[in-house]
Amino acid sequence: MMLSIKNLHASVDGKPILRGIDLEVKAGEVHAIMGPNGSGKSTLANVLAGRENYEVTSGSVHYLGENLLELATEERACKGIFLAFQYPVEIPGVSNIYLLKAAVNARRKYQGLDELPAVEFLKLVKEKVKLVEMKEEFLHRSVNEGFSGGEKKRNEILQMAILEPRLAILDETDSGLDIDALKIVAKGVNTLRGPQRAMILVTHYQRMLDYIVPDHVHVLAHGRVVKSGDKSLALELEERGYGWIEQQAEEIAAAVTG
């Protein structure tokens, strides 16, 4: 098992958000997590990436057999976890290429490898920039500064393509993208798909799932997985909306507290 989440509870600023998540992800699989706004999708993604102010109050997360919750954010990244942010931050004064170089070499250092020689690094970056159809000038701009919403998302995919994670978590990377950008993102993701890797796609719409076909679909509501299924569940949600799911979730919540 690559990722095993058991009965995960987490709070933000003392407010319980995740209320018992169970999820198992095997290498080679793609899981889609859907659910209404505020259901806790981003919270789950951030907890997995190790955000400090998200407090895990109970439950466990194991990643490649290790207790993930004991690892610092950067250690998780070194071990192959990658989060494509729903809202990537702008970092004025740090250039994109510098971030990429620092990230690549931090990973290599952790793996006991020497720094990637500059020539090879540039070759790698240029190849991936082509993959996500980005202009090379973006490399020399400050991280995400002044990027459009779509450019930011593409930049996340560029980083993912270069870092080649074992477990990629994409938090609404599809939101706000036009169809061409969506295809580019899908291409980036599909290129990375392989038997050694796994992906969690957090999405609000099933649109992206036309391009990246998931093995499993889960629906999150009120901090719990209320329904799991295959690709057809996404289509059902598309048709029926989230109302019926929310209602089910409330019933479950009432049963638990009552």
Partner 1 sequence: MDSLLDGRAELRLAAAGVGWVKKLRDSAAASFAEHGLPSTRDEDWKYTNVKPIAKRQFRPAGSSDEGVNAAAVAGCAIEGLSCHRAVFVNGYFSPPLSDLSALPPGVVLDSLARTLAERPQDLSAALGRVMPAESHGFTSLNTAYLTDGAYLRVPEGVVVEHPIELLFINTAIDPAPVVQPRNLIVMEPSSSASVLERYVGVGNGSYLTNAVTELSVRANASIEHYKLQEESVQAYHVGGLFINLERDARVTSHNVAVGGAIARTDLRAVLAAEGAHCEMNGLYLGNGRQHLDNHTQIDHARPRCTSDEYYKGVLDDRARAVFHGRIVVQQDAQQTDAQQQNRNLLLSPDAEIDTKPQLEIYADDVKCSHGATVGQLDSDSLFYLRSRAIDERTARLLLTYAFANDVIGRCALKPVRERLEQTLTRKLFHARDLEELV
Ligand X SMILES: Nc1ncnc2c1ncn2[C@@H]1O[C@H](COP(=O)(O)OP(=O)(O)O)[C@@H](O)[C@H]1O
Question: Could you list the residues that contact partner 1 (CB under 8 A)?
Answer: 49-53, 72-74, 76-78, 82-83, 85, 88-89, 91-94, 98-99, 101-103, 105-107, 110, 142-143, 159, 163
Question: Should residue 173 be labelled a site residue for Mg ion when binding is judged by CB under 5 A?
Answer: no
Q: How far is CA 250 from the centre of its chain?
A: 27
Question: Should residue 173 be labelled a site residue for ligand X when binding is judged by CB under 6 A?
Answer: no
Question: Should residue 88 be labelled a site residue for ligand X when binding is judged by CB under 6 A?
Answer: no
β-strand partners of 6:
60
Question: Should residue 203 be labelled a site residue for ligand X when binding is judged by CB under 6 A?
Answer: no
Q: How far is CA 134 from the centre of its chain?
A: 21
Contact 188, 157 (CB under 8 A): yes
Rg (CA), the chain: 18
Question: What backbone phi and psi angles, to 5 degrees, belong to 249?
Answer: -60, -40
Q: Least distance from C-beta 172 to partner 1, angstroms? A: 16
Question: Should residue 56 be labelled a site residue for ligand X when binding is judged by CB under 6 A?
Answer: no
Q: Least distance from C-beta 42 to Mg ion, angstroms? A: 3
Contact 72, 50 (CB under 8 A): yes
Strand pairing class (142-143; 91-95):
antiparallel
Residue 133: partners with Cβ closer than 8 Å, 6 or more residues away: 154, 184
Nearer to ligand X, 57 or 196 (CB): 57
Q: Tell me which residue has tokens 């998302």.
A: 153
Choose which of 3, 19, 29, 40 interacts with ligand X (CB under 6 A).
Answer: 40
Contact 171, 83 (CB under 8 A): yes
Question: Should residue 250 be labelled a site residue for ligand X when binding is judged by CB under 6 A?
Answer: no
12 makes contact, choosing from ligand X, partner 1, Mg ion, none, with CB < 5 to 8 Å by partner type, with ligand X
Q: Footprint of Mg ion on residues 19-78 (CB under 5 A)?
A: 41-42
Q: Least distance from C-beta 80 to partner 1, angstroms? A: 10
Question: Which residues lie near Mg ion (CB under 5 A)?
Answer: 41-42, 86
Question: Which residues lie near ligand X (CB under 6 A)?
Answer: 12-13, 15, 17, 35, 37-43
